[in-house]
Amino acid sequence: MYQALYRKWRPQTFNDVYGQPHVTKTLQNQLCSGRISHAYLFTGSRGTGKTTCAKILSKAVNCLSPIDGNPCNECEICRGIDNGSILDVIEIDAASNNGVDNIRDLREEANFTPVNAKYRVYIIDEVHMLSIGAFNALLKTLEEPPSHVIFILATTEIHKLPSTILSRCQRFDFKRIAPEDITSRLLYVAEKENVNLTENAANLIARIADGGMRDALSLLDRCFAMGTDIDENAVSDAASIAGTIHLFSFSEYVANGDFTSSLKLVSKLHSESCDIDSLCTELTLHFRNLMVAKTVSECEGLIVCSKDELASLKERAASLKLSKILECIEILEQTAKNIKNAANKKIQLEAAVIKMCAPSSADAAISEGLEERISKLEELLVNGVRPAAAPVAVPAPVQETKKTEPIPEPIKEEPKPEIREPEKAPEPAPAAPPAEQSDVADGPFVNWVDVLDKIKLYDIPLFGIMANTTAVIKNGRVVISSNNPTLFDFICTDTHSKELARAVYEVMGRKMKIAVSNPEKAKAEKSPLEDLKNKINKFNNN
């Protein structure tokens, strides 16, 4: 009978467990020193090795010839536990055995000495499913079990366990397995199974698994059914996701504002049975990677992808504004919530794509106003008409009138549209300056390196774009000089601005206003109407 990959390649020793060295090393040290606890609690997300480590521990405490805390897997005890012939290791599913009577039976059985092994080991999986009465029945036995009994509890929802249970166990937290560890394991399994698995395909499986080795091996098992040569396309088809090429196509359409192509791509993927929920999740992750590539100079450790894909991400991120990327992430996050209760998931995603491709309301208004003005002026130049200067209102001379003559009413002119400059923030009244800033002298910010060290601890992405900045104190403000055009948009977000203000406060001991100066950008910037203005002046001179 065919055996699933996650069962066939389940680790048999602590050395084979991937991604949990803080757990396996501690357990090995306990076994080597003989300091074995009577109760263990393994907690963490699914597929991270909780049950696997529990089974390895149950063999290691009973093994006749342990090797550095690992079971030998050769003695009769290890082989008996593997094939189920030794009944001193009992695995209980608390989801289906969660009553008081089940725990009472377990408590009575625990009093009997083991038949073949040294310890009677109880592995209680999904222990958070036990009822309150069952927990209470387990308390006394769990606190002071017989010397020949070991309890190993496993759960994915630690918050559902009573504190009385937590205080009676040694707790081990299993972390999500790193993508590079999952990739390494997948390539090893594929090689042993005589299947050609590309590294990019293994990276894609690792991203989809989200830190779970069992999920990764299950998806690899589905890919094996499609053939012996597995690439990214095979993984995308097996997992019913969009794939890297389609994700980059989406971001290209967003950058170009191409509504038609983006909607056609959604329809194409939907007709190919692509799961809408998975597509929304993949798009969110893709724009998250664009955000990291846009803001962090050395982002190799923050994005799981190949070198070619990373180069493509950086190139695509350069064509998008940071504010647009953040806006797309917010739209996709809200869409993911709406999809769960939507009657038609495809319509929700299409609406999200339309919002992503559309320009923001402020940019759209400015763009439309400039385009209208430029088109009118160009039309006048083409027709050889000199643009008329704006009429200047001249006050009419005061005329003496007789008392008998009626005074004519002044002619009311229609109000003309006014183009207003963005209003500047009102400056504080000079009479009452803040007390904490009155004694701050203007000049270089000599402790700016200390501020950057603080930011490195609090906010790594913010430190990535502020690493080469300098600062001065001017008019009671901290003015940051940077050639990075994304810095201003980045620190405008609430989270990053708070961390920056916090770092400045801890170094200076006072609250300071913060401003950003970009000298290179100020030199390079030019008015969008500058060229047109030059044309008009040249026409007037001729």
C-alpha distances (whole Å) from 338 to each of 334, 341, 351 are 6, 6, 11
Q: Is the pLDDT of residue 66 over 60?
A: yes
pLDDT digits (tens, 9 = 90+) for 163-211: 999 999 999 999 989 888 899 999 999 999 888 998 888 888 888 888 8
List the chain domain ranges.
5-174, 179-239, 244-357, 438-524
> Would you state the pLDDT for residue 331?
93
User: Can you tell me the distance from the alpha carbon of 479 to that of 515, in angstroms, rounded to the nearest whole number?
Assistant: 5
What is the per-residue burial (b if ≥16 Cβ within 10 Å, else e) of 229-241? Answer: ebebebbbbbbeb
Q: Give the dihedral of Cα atoms 192, 195, 200, 202; nearest 10 deg.
A: -50
% of the chain residues with pLDDT over 90: 26
Q: Is the pLDDT of residue 469 over 80?
A: yes
User: Can you tell me the distance from the alpha carbon of 525 to that of 329, in angstroms, rounded to the nearest whole number?
Assistant: 29
Tokens 């079990």, residue located? 145
What are the DSSP calls for 421-436, one per residue? PPPPPPPPPTTS--GG
Q: Report which listed range, 82-86, 324-328, 440-444, is most confident.
A: 324-328
Q: Which CATH class is domain 179-239?
A: mainly alpha
CATH of domain 5-174: 3.40.50.300
Element (H, E) at 517: strand 513-517
C-alpha distances (whole Å) from 91 to each of 35, 52, 140 are 23, 12, 20
pLDDT digits (tens, 9 = 90+) for 230-241: 888 888 778 766
Options 3.40.50.720, 3.40.50.300, 1.20.272.10, 1.25.40.10; CATH for 244-357 is 1.20.272.10
Q: For residue 361, what are the contacts with CB-CB under 8 A and spacing of at least 6? A: none
Q: Is 327 left (phi over 0), alpha (psi -120 to 50) or beta?
A: alpha
Between 494 and 256, residue with greater pLDDT: 256
pLDDT tier, 425 (very low <50, low <70, confident <90, very high otherwise): very low
User: Can you tell me the distance from the alpha carbon of 223 to that of 352, in angstroms, rounded to the nearest whole number?
Assistant: 31
CB-CB contact of 454 with 506 (8 Å): yes
Structure tokens at 281: 């999740």
Q: Dihedral of CA 72/75/77/83: which sign?
A: positive
Angle, vertex CA 184, rays to CA 180 and CA 186, nearest 5: 115
Q: Which amino acid is at 226?
A: M
pLDDT digits (tens, 9 = 90+) for 264-296: 999 988 888 788 888 898 899 899 999 998 898
Structure tokens at 348: 């929700």
The average pLDDT across 501-509 equals 85
Q: For residue 76, what are the contacts with CB-CB under 8 A and spacing of at least 6? A: 64
pLDDT digits (tens, 9 = 90+) for 107-126: 888 888 888 889 999 999 99
CB-CB contact of 94 with 130 (8 Å): yes
3-class DSSP assignment, residue 514: strand
pLDDT tier, 430 (very low <50, low <70, confident <90, very high otherwise): very low
3-class DSSP assignment, residue 178: coil
User: Can you tell me the distance from the alpha carbon of 277 to that of 337, in angstroms, rounded to the nearest whole number?
Assistant: 10
> Would you state the pLDDT for residue 396?
52
From 82-91, 153-162, 394-403, 451-460, the region with the lowest mean pLDDT? 394-403
Task: Tell me which long-range contacts 195-202 makes (C-beta under 8 A, separation of at least 24).
Answer: 195/224, 195/228, 195/229, 195/230, 196/228, 196/229, 196/230, 197/223, 197/230, 198/230, 198/231, 198/232, 199/306, 200/231, 200/232, 200/306, 200/309, 201/230, 201/231, 201/232, 201/234, 201/235
User: Can you tell me the distance from the alpha carbon of 61 to that of 106, in angstroms, rounded to the nearest whole number?
Assistant: 20
- Indicate if 438-524 has the same CATH topology as 5-174: no
CB-CB contact of 433 with 475 (8 Å): no
Q: Which amino acid is at 51?
A: T
| CATH superfamily, domain at 438-524 | DnaA, N-terminal domain (3.30.300.180)
> Would you state the pLDDT for residue 154?
94
Which among 225, 220, 230, 234 has a CA at the least distance from the CA of 198? 230
Q: Which amino acid is at 56?
A: I
C-alpha distances (whole Å) from 188 to each of 3, 56, 179, 201 are 18, 21, 14, 13
